[in-house]
Amino acid sequence: MREFQLEGKTAIVTGAGRGIGKAIALILAEAGAKIIAAARTKEEIEETAAVVRKMGRICLPIPTDVTKASDVALLVDAAVSEFGRIDILINQAGRGGGRNRRSAAALPRSVGRGSRRHAGRRFQLLRIR
């Protein structure tokens, strides 16, 4: 992956415990990024972290429920404390509901349902710092 080098970069990946989120975390690690793996299930992100470490890369697993502002704040604080910066944010956590569904409902119908569901969480993460 010479054309896709992320040495020295730090990435937060939500939903990193399984599926697409895990795959994204592994690809970013393969490209050289330090990974902060976030998901609600500690065992799943520990498994992701183990795979990243077998690649010889760094992974910090942080149990996080992105629907809780306090969890998101702890995630960002841990990332900055450990690595000094956040270069990449991938919001792949895939559970909708509550306040975020209402705030995202104003997006145009042309935006896919999944994108509207994730929009509230993405903005919440960006507002932290």
Residue 106 has pLDDT above 70, yes or no: no
Q: What is the span of the domain harbouring residue 89?
A: 10-94
Q: Is residue 64 a part of any domain in this protein?
A: yes
Q: How far is CA 112 from CA 11, 18, 108, 118, in A?
A: 25, 22, 9, 10
Q: Is residue 62 a part of any domain in this protein?
A: yes
**Number of structural domains in the chain:** 1
**pTM reported for the whole predicted model:** 0.75
Q: Is residue 129 a part of any domain in this protein?
A: no
Q: Is residue 125 a part of any domain in this protein?
A: no
Mean of per-residue pLDDT scores for the chain: 81
Q: Is residue 24 a part of any domain in this protein?
A: yes
How many angstroms separate the CA atoms of 22 and 37, rounded? 8
Q: Is residue 84 a part of any domain in this protein?
A: yes
Amino acid 1: pLDDT:
54
Span 81-105, pLDDT tens digits: 999 999 999 999 875 544 444 444 4
The CATH number for 25's domain is 3.40.50.720
